[in-house]
A and B are shown apart, each in its own frame.
Chain A
Amino acid sequence: MIKINNWVLFYITLAIFLLGVSGLFFSRDFLSAIVSNQLMVIAAFINFLNFSFINPGQVWDRVFVLSGFIAIYLFAFGIILNIYTRANTLKPAGILFDFRLFIFRKSDWWGEDRI
């Protein structure tokens, strides 16, 4: 049975997840995009913890979280390493690209540089 505090915690994780999603759509620089992704991952992690109290005694969820974290953070590290080795910086001014997930602009819609 879901108690009221589980529901509150779920709404909090949903808010964090939506914050991460909005960050993907509105953040222009690379580090903000990475942070937005991490917010979504953290929201999922809190969900796993939240629901583990409903289903106690499970090891499967911990294994899932551990393997998921390793896979996602390995990927994030790979991207950061790739950017750093090419641009030699992670500062926003040095990486002059727009990292928004979706840009409502004709040139981005068709994959062109400029229309």
Chain B
Amino acid sequence: MEFVRTIIATMGPFGSIAVLAVAVFFMIFFGFSVRRGVKISAAVLAAVFHILSIITGFFYARNGGSGSNLLAGQGGIEFVLSTMVIFMSLNLLLSFSMNNMDDPAFIRILILLVFSTIIANVFIVSRDFIMLFASFTLFIFMVFQLISVLNLKNTVACGKINKFGVRLLAIPAFLFFAFSLIYIRADIRNLSQVQGQDLFSNPFIVTGCIIMVISIGLYLCLPPFQGSYLGLIKKIEGYSIGVIWLLYLPLGIAAVIKLSPFIYSLPAGRYDLAGIIFMVFALFGFIASGAAASGTASLRRILSFMALFYVSFILMNLALFYLNIVELELASLLNTGVLIPFIFNFLPWYMLMVFLEKHLKSDSIGNLRGLGRTNIWISVSLTINLAFWLSTAYFMFPFYRFLGEGNFPALPVAGKILLAGYFISVIFLGINIARIIRELFKAPLQDLRPGKFFIPVFYHIYLGFFMVVILALLILVLIGKIEITGSKIIFWKMVIGLF
């Protein structure tokens, strides 16, 4: 045990990355095998190493402390982000194993997936700008590779994938230019050197920060750049959508958290203007995605618009900060909170959506029809999950800053407009949730009576697991065993300092 502790301490923040790299190393030897037994072994091996990497990260965070140097570092927030990414990758591995096992390139797809998780973790622990930029660009490349490999036989999606790829190529180009402007202060080469510096009176660095914000907005498909993302989601295979929802978008949110020393540092004299600009885009993102989801009958597109809805919280947090309604610490914490719906809301829905599309050959919301009457456990799990959608939207908005005695009149006009717009978008969210629940509890069609069509036990267990976790979280919050104060999460007696 002491030996293991020594190795974990020696590997430092790269411990979980090294564990995943071992999995890739073993899988490479079987990359061209088409035998089913070998494929299953490779998937099991990858899953085991995913779990081991989470354990390694946990042991390092608990015993190794927040070790860091100028190249990389792992504090509380890096541990949380890294664990989330590895967990999402594990679920994607499960989805690919269930839906894509017959593909002759299955093991190579797994290698791509694990490698992209490695690159994502390298980005999360990076502090140096070289490592940050290179890992971010390589991750975007890996996402493009994964999507194109998973849709090799899908000729309909070809154009959309290529268009999305060309759009993705612009992101590192923008970032490269932003870093070239920041280079005017050549003594600033990593993130730990940025804090506490009076950098942002320099017009080059301010311009670099603005271009960085634009590149992150482009990455996250925030309006008005959502067209190619929506077009891609419409055409690609169902199981490959998980790469976008569960890897690509969450890492974008992680990028906002990593680059917050730049993103949250425009000159104080421009705060109002920046706040209003972000407010306009945030409101547009909220209201447009909610309204568009209400107007479509495709479950796939409803979920893709909901992903845009939650990603728009990033813009909202920027608006709240620049309107002086929240401090940097709370804005950073709220950004971290945006990842929660991607784990607890999107994961179960993505798995169910892929199964229904595969068996019913359509992506209509009508696929859910009658599930509430034929599968009671599934309907209860889904209903609780949908209630969690509403509660996450509630907890991710600092209502106490807006409402309460004396707060509302003291707000700037932009803050009041933001509050009003947010209420409208939550109404749209409620409408979409109501539509889904109504569809669940409609009378099933003749073909879908019990016995004719059933959902396998696995999905009962999977959806039930998330339902139990959601209920446990809610109960723990209510009895005070989970507390979020400032930049710390207190879970039972364990304190995780995030920032």
Residues of A within 8 A of B (CB): 10, 17, 20, 24, 30, 33-34, 37, 40-41, 43-45, 47-48, 51-52, 54-55, 58, 60-61, 63-64, 67-68, 70-72, 74-76, 78-79, 82-83, 86-87, 95-99, 101-103, 108-113
Contacts and interface: CB of A to CB of B under 8 A. Distances in A.
Interface of B: 129-130, 133-134, 137-138, 140-141, 144-145, 148, 158-159, 161-163, 165-170, 172-174, 176-177, 179-181, 183-184, 186, 189, 204, 224-234, 292, 301, 304
Given A67-B130, A111-B233, A75 B176 contact: no
A59 to B, nearest CB: 11
B169 A60 contact: no
A19 to B, nearest CB: 12
Contact of A78 (B134, B144, B170): B144
A72 B133 CA distance: 10
Given A43-B180, A111-B301, 11 more contacts: A48-B183, A64-B133, A67-B130, A75-B140, A75-B172, A102-B225, A102-B227, A109-B226, A111-B226, A111-B230, A111-B233
B229 A111 contact: yes
Contacts of A34: 166, 169
B137 A68 contact: yes
A24 B454 CA distance: 48
27 contacts: A33-B169, A37-B169, A37-B173, A40-B173, A44-B173, A44-B179, A48-B180, A51-B180, A60-B130, A60-B186, A64-B129, A67-B130, A67-B133, A71-B138, A74-B138, A75-B137, A75-B144, A75-B172, A78-B165, A82-B144, A97-B162, A99-B162, A101-B167, A109-B226, A109-B227, A111-B227, A111-B229
B224 A79 contact: no
Nearest to A74: B141
Contacts of A55: 186
A10 B148 CA distance: 38
Interface centre among B159, B161, B180, B226 (most CB of A within 10 A): B180
Contacts of B137: 68, 71-72, 75
Contacts of A51: 180, 183-184, 186
Question: Top 4 closest A-B pairs, CB basis?
Answer: A111-B230, A47-B180, A55-B186, A71-B137
Interface centre among B158, B162, B232 (most CB of A within 10 A): B162
Given A44-B177, A71-B133, A24 B170 contact: yes
Contacts of B169: 33-34, 37, 72, 75-76, 79
B207 to A, nearest CB: 9
A71 B180 contact: no
Contact of A68 (B145, B176, B184, B227): B176
A102 B170 CA distance: 12
Tell me what chain A mostly uses at the interface: helix, strand, loop, or mixed. helix
B234 A101 contact: no
B162 A83 contact: yes
A78 B141 contact: yes
Nearest to B158: A86
Contacts of A45: 180
Nearest to B292: A110
Contacts of B204: 10
A47 B181 contact: yes
Contacts of B162: 30, 79, 82-83, 86, 95, 97, 99
Contact of B174 (A33, A40, A79, A112): A40
B170 A79 contact: no
Contacts of A37: 166, 169-170, 173
A109 B138 CA distance: 28
Given A58-B186, A86-B158, A78 B145 contact: yes
A60 B138 CA distance: 20
A111 B164 CA distance: 12
Contacts of B292: 110
A34 B173 CA distance: 11
A86 B244 CA distance: 22
Contacts of B189: 60
A67 B227 contact: no
A64 B141 contact: no
B172 A72 contact: yes
A113 B230 CA distance: 11
B172 to A, nearest CB: 5
Contacts of B184: 51, 54
A61 B144 CA distance: 28
B180 A111 contact: no
Contacts of B158: 86-87
A43 to B, nearest CB: 6
Contacts of A86: 158, 162
A46 to B, nearest CB: 8
A112 B234 contact: yes
B499 to A, nearest CB: 26
A99 B231 CA distance: 13
Contacts of B177: 17, 40-41, 43-44, 47
